Amino acid sequence: MQRNLTAGSLVGIYAKLSQAWQTQNSLLCVGLDPEMAFLPEHLLESSTPYFDFCSAIVDATAPYVCAFKPQFAHFAAAGRETELAEVLNYIHARYPHLVTILDAKRGDIGSTATYYAKEAYERYGADAVTLSPYLGYESVAPYLAYAERGLVVLCRTSNPDSNWLQNDPADTEPVFARVARRVAEWNAQGQCMLVAGATYPEELGSIRQLVGNMPLLVPGIGAQGGDLVAVLQHGLDPQGTGLIISSSRGILYAAAANGERVTADFAQYAANAAAALRDEINKNRDTT
Amino acid sequence: MQRNLTAGSLVGIYAKLSQAWQTQNSLLCVGLDPEMAFLPEHLLESSTPYFDFCSAIVDATAPYVCAFKPQFAHFAAAGRETELAEVLNYIHARYPHLVTILDAKRGDIGSTATYYAKEAYERYGADAVTLSPYLGYESVAPYLAYAERGLVVLCRTSNPDSNWLQNDPADTEPVFARVARRVAEWNAQGQCMLVAGATYPEELGSIRQLVGNMPLLVPGIGAQGGDLVAVLQHGLDPQGTGLIISSSRGILYAAAANGERVTADFAQYAANAAAALRDEINKNRDTT
């Protein structure tokens, strides 16, 4: 089951991601969050509606992205783990140059963490997986053992009630900064990334100061109101890369108004939305 | 799929747990962490080895416990979600008075958290699920919406490298104490519990001070070296309950020396180990 990421000069997740940024000329990541209520009518009869939907989104948006981020809970709540694995296989087979990030936010220790790593990297074959930092190093070590895979640790999340834990002004050093420093220490093999929400661009900037060129996964553009221009100003690395800017609903369900089922031409709408966001990012990359 | 926990005077997770503590005269929880490498030879040919193993453990240890805690990753890494659901169904059907805690340590926001709650409570039918606090209230609210189910939030974990995040002496108030206070605020309906590791009994005591009678799930007895007597001294509520003391390997694999496959009589060994630990807890409950 273990995939070999070594192909030509590509070795390891940083190399794969860097190459995807360059060859795709894109920092955009499309989040794959399928929801039965929003799928087009014609897929409701399928035995694999989530795979059908996601693979169509992948084909439509692949030209415009550096990465795809399938979200675990959306599949798991519906008992559709097999389709999740098939979506990842589909991306790896057709678009081996694009990075896959399994968004599962795992966080446990010991043998349990070892099994979560095995699930993400072997069962699903993901290039990278999202993790919680709450339990510290013991919850990260089993993932680091997969030298060519990546791990994306929550640092500063985009939602407002994370403040009291992640950024309490009473702390000598806020927790998000402690997390950034620790993850940088754990990064001997070039595997680590951090989640830094677009809704807190200045804190994203201080994370960038703490971790050098470490890639940052940035949710919160779109519905959550993150400021794209500020994110780019504070977060780009000296090469004009370093960010994986994630959008899910704004692309997946671009064919429908809020809360409605998408139409049969959802993939074309998704492609247009992805192209537009990629271009908006690039326009602001050039001017910063 | 949604189970009704209302039976007689039982309403909600606190009532169910309280009744289990009393009628079972036990604070013991058996963690169900199946691993292929440790299963008895005769189960290796089964198409459902994890279910066979766990259901035998459940039958053998049910007289001595208040709760069972199936661990998600152990099943998921092997693609055995169906067996996980069957284990939970088995417990609910045969031992409806015992509490089930799905140990999954979920932590996400928005629609994703809603899907994780649906997975834990509807797909798997668990009475309670473990969660990470890192993202704050938005990551807990969807679980609170299931008024009769429980949520067990990580507060002070048992492993050493959690200190820099959970209990940094430079913090005005350590993160674990902030978590305890917040979770107490969220607990309007009597659904919340906290994880407090046995390896830090004094911090467990300060959590008890902060949250009144809120139930605490206590890992870290056994291999991790937690001090049972100190846990009871610091953690019992005025009724001599309030703790769910969890043990996994020390019971599941009692029939084998460290790292070996268990023998065919594993269930009897597990029963003996569970009875002994239940008795050791009760002996020290009486004298504190």
Q: What pLDDT band is residue B25 in, cutting at 50, 70 and 90?
A: very high
Task: Spot the catalytic one: B16, B105, B118, B283.
Answer: B105
pLDDT, residue A287, reads 56
Both tokens of A116, joined, read 């979560």
Report the amino acid identity of residue A182. R
Give, as one character, the DSSP assignment of residue B7: B
pLDDT at A18: 97
**Residue ranges of the domains in chain B?**
12-287
Q: What is the mean pLDDT of residues A38-50?
A: 97
Report chain A residues whose CB lies below 8 A from the CB of B195. none
Instruction: Answer for the pair B204, B221: CB distance below 8 angstroms, yes or no.
Output: no
Task: Identify any residues that bridge with A101 across adjacent strands, giving them in sequence order.
Answer: A128
For range B139-152, the mean pLDDT: 97
B121 pLDDT more than 70 = yes
Split at pLDDT 50, 70, 90, the class of B7 is very low
CA distance B75 to chain A (A): 9
Two tokens, residue A175: 């927790």
Joined together, the tokens standing for residue A256 give 């429908």
Q: What is the 3-state secondary structure (H, E, C) of A252-263?
A: HCCCCCCCCCCC
Mind listing the pLDDT tens digit for each residue in A111-141? 999 999 999 999 999 999 999 999 999 999 9
AA letter at B118 = K
Residue B6 Cα, gap to closest chain A Cα (Å): 24
Please report the pLDDT score of residue A15 as a whole number. Answer: 96
Q: Average pLDDT of chain A?
A: 94
Token code pair at residue B137: 């209230």
What integer is the mean pLDDT of A245-252?
96
Check CB contact under 8 Å for A79 and B123: yes
| CB distance A196 to A222 below 8 Å | no
Inter-chain touch B77–A122, beta carbons under 8 Å? yes
Q: Which residue(s) pair with A255 in the sheet?
A: none
Residues of A in contact with B170 (CB under 8 A): 171-173
Average of per-residue pLDDT across B82-92 = 98
Write out the two tokens for B153. Answer: 């939030």
The string of DSSP letters for B220-233 reads -BSTT-B-HHHHHH
Residue A245 has pLDDT above 90, yes or no: yes
Q: Residue A257: what pLDDT?
A: 77
Question: Which residue reads 């099994």 in tokens?
Answer: A115
Q: Do A135 and B160 touch (CB under 8 A)?
A: no
* Residue pLDDT, tens place only, B50-60: 999 999 999 99
Whether chain B has a CB inside 8 Å of the CB on A123: the answer is: yes
Distances in whole angstroms, Cα of residue B214 to Cα of each of B105, B211, B218, B284:
19, 6, 13, 20
Q: Does residue B80 sit at the A interface (CB-CB below 8 Å)? A: no
The pLDDT value given to residue B287: 56
Residues of A in contact with B33 (CB under 8 A): 111-112
User: So which residues of A are the catalytic ones?
Assistant: 105
Query: Smallest Cα–Cα separation from A128: which of A80, A79, A69?
Result: A69
Q: What is the C-alpha to C-alpha distance for residues A119 and A124, in angstroms, rounded to an integer?
A: 6
Please indicate whether, in this complex, the C-beta atoms of B105 and A109 are within 8 angstroms of each other. Answer: no
Asked if residue A222 has pLDDT above 90, the reply is no
H or E element that contains B242:
none
Q: Which CATH superfamily is domain B12-287 in?
A: Aldolase class I (3.20.20.70)
What is the value of pTM for the model shown? 0.95
**Listed residue (A259, A257, A256, A252) closest to A277, CA to CA:** A252
Q: What single-letter DSSP state applies at residue B71?
A: B
Q: What whole-number percentage of chain A has pLDDT above 90? A: 92
pLDDT-based confidence at residue B17 (cuts at 50, 70, 90): very high
**In this predicted structure, what is the pLDDT of residue A8?**
43
Nearest to B60 by CA among B270, B278, B273, B276: B270
The model's pLDDT over A184-215, given as tens digits with 9 standing for 90+, comes to: 999 999 999 999 999 999 999 999 999 999 99
For the cut 50, the answer to whether the pLDDT of residue A154 exceeds it is yes
Q: Looking at chain B, which residue has its C-alpha nearest residue A175?
A: B165
Report CB contact under 8 Å: B107, A105: yes
What ipTM does the predicted assembly reach?
0.94
Under an 8 A CB cutoff, do B157 and A109 touch?
yes
DSSP code for A171 = S
Q: What is the pLDDT of residue B11?
A: 67
Q: How confident is the model over B189-234, as pLDDT tens digits? A: 999 999 999 999 999 999 999 999 999 999 999 778 889 999 999 9
Predicted confidence band of residue B2 (pLDDT cuts 50, 70, 90): very low
pLDDT band with cut points at 50, 70 and 90 for residue A156: very high
Matching residue, tokens 């415009």: A64
* A263 token code pair: 């139409």
3-state secondary structure of B105: strand
Report d(CA A17, CA A146) in Å as an integer.
16
